[in-house]
Amino acid sequence: MRTRKFRELLVWQDSMALAREVYTLTAEFPQKEKFGLSSQLCRAAVSIPSNIAEGHGRLSDKSFAVFLGNARGSLFELETQLEIAGSLNYVTNGQLQAILAQCEKIARMLNALLNKLREGNG
């Protein structure tokens, strides 16, 4: 099941693209949000591929699954923060819907990978 390199995982690649998108998006936020919502969004976005990579480096599928769960939690945190940014009109509805669609895709990929790990250990 395992690939030798976490960089080969499509979910890692897509979550890296999402993190870059979040950084681009938050660059347009008001200056007063630099250490507030903008920072929170960036940290949550970075946490997703970071957890995937760290979990992949662990010695067992069980440990990997724990880190994938952490990545999933960070993804949901990010979605919540994006909704807040939308409600504050820091992003347009179009921007919000596009990035939430990326989040949904990554959530499906994480769920599929978690299911595959569970099947392998079942």
Q: Over the stretch 28-41, which tens digit does the pLDDT of each residue have?
A: 999 999 899 999 99
Reply yes or no on whether the pLDDT at 1 is more than 60: no
* Cβ–Cβ < 8 Å for 15, 71: yes
d(CA 96, CA 5): 32
pLDDT over 90 (residue 98):
yes
CATH 3.30.70.100 fits 6-120, yes or no: no
Query: The pTM is what?
Result: 0.94
Over 80: is that where the pLDDT of 4 sits? Answer: no
What does the pLDDT read at residue 28?
A: 94
- What lies within 8 Å, CB to CB, of 17 at 6+ separation is 102
Alpha-carbon distance values, 44 to 19, 22, 69, 92, 112 (Å): 9, 10, 14, 20, 21
Q: Calculate the average pLDDT of the chain.
A: 94
Phi, psi dihedral angles at 58 (to 5 degrees): -75, 165
